Structure 1
Amino acid sequence: MRVAVLGATGMVGRTFVRLLAGHPWFRVEKLVASERSAGRKYGELVDDSPEEFRDVEVTSLPEFLRDPDVDIVFNALPASISREVEGELAQSLPVFTNARSHRYDPDVPILVPEVNLEHLELIEVQRERRGWEGFIVTNPNCSTAILTVSLAALRGFGIREVKVATMQAISGAGYSGLSALAIQDNVIPSIPGEEWKIENESRKILGELDGVEVKPAEFRISAMATRVPVLHGHTEAVFVKLEEGSLEEVREAFESFDPLGELGLPSYERPLVYSDVPQPRLHRDRGRGLTVTVGRLEGSSGSFKYVVTGHNLVRGAAGGSVLNAELAYKLGYLK
């Protein structure tokens, strides 16, 4: 299937391009960026471009919107312009997006394939309500993606309450999102909007599809987000109250969690691996960046704590979105 990547020169866009190089199902045909980049070769703009894309001429967004001529769109554009762009494209095309613009629409899934694949049924709700031939599938905020993979393994024990403190890598802020002077020798205990997203997106993802919309999970969740001087890889300290389950049972649930193993998705990697001391420098690239590492598990009598880490640009952004598209293809939502 023919693919376009919007925002292809940004940090998430570059990750999309790298992950789609040589993909057996999806062939990148258009790399879309700002008008100042239009007409230049991708390799001139992105030093570490995969070889197959180095000579591809970048297309401007206005030019692309006039004639998309692809089968699928992956969006890494800023949220400030994504809502209108995605709405226009979804009239005729499937859009898999990293932007937050449509995450909270009742008929749009926030998808983490290992957690809530049944939410893809909202695609048909979108099409019927909006008169679209295409659709929009979002992936969550990067910290939410990493957290919910770990929480999904615990649903069978009955989640009552979650508290989480994040230690988020600087790449989550984008190329110009944080100055070196601000983060060097520092921890910044504030990321505007991040805590609200973790608290609300997690409950939607872990909620139940009820006819034409998702009923959010009923457990309480409280988040505190911090930025730390790590290049890639978000780490989270999680405190969870469960209705039942022993320490041994919880660890076994983490170690055995693998709901997509039989589907044969090209990007598939084991979603969750247990290590005694998860660390971003050691574990962020595990499973090509799609595997989340969990460890430091302690607790009893329904109260547990653990640490989880994952690659914010892969599992938390572009890689999650590619996996979303593969799942949609496998389940027949892409023709």
Structure 2
Amino acid sequence: MKAAVLGATGMVGRTFVRLLAKHPWFRVEKLVASERSAGKKYGELVEDSPEEFRDVEVISLPEFLKDPDVDLVFNALPASISKEVEEELAQNLPVFTNARSHRYDPDVPILIPEVNREHLNLIEVQREKRDWEGFIVTNPNCSTAILTVSLAALRGFGIIEVNVATMQAISGAGYSGLSALAIQDNVIPLIQGEEWKIENESRKILGELDGGEIKPAGFKISAIATRVPVLHGHTEAVFIKLEEGSLGEVREAFESFDPLRDLGLPSYERPIVYSDVPQPRLHRDRGRGLTVTVGRLEESKGGFKYVVTGHNLVRGAAGGSVLNAEMAYRLGYLK
């Protein structure tokens, strides 16, 4: 299937391009970026471009919108311009997006295939409601993605309450999102809007699809988000209260969580690996960046505590979106 990557020169866009190189199902034919990048070879703009894309000429967004001529779109554009672009494209094309613009629409899934693949059924609701041939599927905020994969392994025990503190890599702010001087020798104790996203997206993702709408999960969740001087890989300290489950059972749930192993998705990797001391520098590239590492599991007063780390640009962004497209393809939504 022919694909386009929007925002192909940004941090998430570059990750899309790298992950889609030589993909067995999706062939990237159009790389879309800003007007100032249009007309240049991708290799001129991105030094570490995969060889197969080095000589591909980048086109502007207006030029692409005139004649998309692809079968699906991966969007890494900023949220500030994504809403209208996605809605225009989704009239005829499937759009898999990293932007937050439509995450909170009732008829748009925030998808993590290992967690809530049944939410893809919202595609039919979306098409009927909006009179579209295509659709929009979003992936979560990067910290939400890493957290929610770990929570999904435990939902069988009945989640009552979650408290999480994130330590987020600087690449999550994008190329121009944070000055070098601001983050050196420092921790930034606020990421605007991040805590709200974690709290609300997690409950939607883990919610139940009922009669064409998602009923958010009923557990309480509170988050505090910080930025730390790590290049890639978000780390999260989690405290969780469960209705039942022993320490051994919780660890076994983490270690055995592998819900899509038999579906043959090209990008699929085991979603969770248990390791005693998760660290971003050591573990962010595990499973090609799609595996989160859980460890430090201990009983705590009234519940359990653990640490989870994962690659914010892969599991938390482009890699999750590619996996979403593969899941949609496998379930017959891409033709």
**2:45 aligned partner:** 45
Who is 1:221 aligned against?
221
1:159-238 superposed matches below 5 A: 159-238=159-238
| Count of residues in Structure 1 that have an aligned counterpart in Structure 2 | 335
Distance 2:318 2:187 in 1: 26
Identical-pair percentage: 90
Verify the 8 A CA contact 1:267 1:323 in the aligned structure 2: yes
Q: Quick one: structure 1 residues 302 and 256, their matched pair in 2 at CA, closer, same or farther if it must change by over 3 Å?
A: farther
**Superposed displacement of residue 206, structure 1:** 0.3
Provide the residue aligned with 2:144 in structure 1. Answer: 144
- Give the structure 2 partner of residue 276 of structure 1: 276
**Deviations 1:293-330 (CA, angstroms, capped at 9, x unpaired):** 00000006750000000000000000000000000000
CA drift of 1:212 comes to 1.3
Shift of 1:210: 1.1
Is this contact kept in 2: 1:165–1:237, CA < 8 A?
Answer: yes
Task: Find the counterpart in structure 1 of residue 318 from structure 2.
Answer: 318
Q: Which residue of 2 aligns with 1:298?
A: 298
Q: 2: distance between equivalents of 1:107 and 1:301?
A: 39
Other-structure match for 1:244:
244
Q: How does 1:10-29 map to 2 (within 5 A)?
A: 10-29=10-29
Which 5+ residue runs of structure 2 have no aligned equivalent? Answer: none
Equivalent residue number for residue 260 of structure 2: 260
Deviations 1:239-294 (A, max 9, x none): 00000000000000000000000000000100000000000000000000000000
What are structure 1's unaligned runs of at least 5 residues? Answer: none
| Superposed counterparts of 1:108-119, under 5 Å | 108-119=108-119
Moved over 6 A (4+): none
- Does 2:156 align with 1:156? yes
Equivalent residue, structure 2, for 1:91: 91
SS in 1 for 2:250: helix
* 2:290 partner letter: L
TM-score, normalising length: structure 2:
0.99
Structure 1 CA distance for aligned equivalents of residues 212 and 133 of structure 2: 18
> Is the Cα–Cα contact under 8 Å of residues 244 and 302 in structure 1 kept in the other structure?
no
Query: What letter corresponds to residue 92 of structure 2 in structure 1?
Result: S
State the match for 1:107 in structure 2: 107
Distance across 1 between alignment mates of 2:170 and 2:103: 23
Distance 1:12 1:159 in 2: 32
What RMSD, in angstroms, separates the aligned Cα atoms of the two structures? 0.6
Q: Partner of 1:235: helix, strand, or coil? A: strand
Calculate the TM-score normalised by the size of structure 1. 0.99
CA distance in 1, matches of 2:256, 2:218: 25
Residue 221 of structure 2 aligns with an amino acid whose one-letter code is I
